[in-house]
Amino acid sequence: MDQRSIARMLDHTLLKPEATAAQVVGLCAEAIELGVFAVCVSPSMASVARAALDGSAVRLACVAGFPSGAHDRAVVAAEAALAVRAGADEVDMVIDLGRAKAGDWDHVEASIAAVRAAVPPPCLLKVIIESSALTDDEIVSACEAAMSAHADFVKTSTGFHPTGGATVDAVRLMRRTVGEALGVKASGGVRTAEVAVAMVAAGATRIGTSSSAAILGGLAAL
């Protein structure tokens, strides 16, 4: 796991609600310099990021239904479609946690499917399940709903939920559930090279982080 291989798994992220356009431009410049796979920003910043990434190989991801997931599925689908129209290559959507905790998996799957229909391939669709707020059985059901709705990835966390972010155990369970059918993105609290490597060893194929430079710099010490 050298710097280049880990860099190509990183989504360099800025999702703070107070983030400015200038900060997003800076994020994109740093992403290009570090050689990461993608940047991940709020949908309102999609056009700013798209312009800043112009001519580079770095992909653009935008969130939808973020961070609570407590949105009507039509709203999340429309938000995702607008982000793609503004230049996003990937969409990271949040599931409705209330429906998940109630065991209404048909609704969860239908919501993911609505976003999938709004942003068909080649757009990549990642489904944020907020794993720290779910039981193991609920994590499995959320992953199964994402697979049934033809998502491309399952993702641990928004990074904003008070219960916490990604854990190795959650990533391992998610990988075991989806097999090789979907990617697994570890996000939320991944700030060091040691943690990033542990997530990859557990089955993550993408890592969302605002600490890309620290992670890549720390690999030399491992």
Q: So which residues are the catalytic ones?
A: 92, 155, 185
Helix axes 105-118, 73-85, angle to 10 degrees: 30
CA distance 142 to 131: 9
CA distance 106 to 86: 30
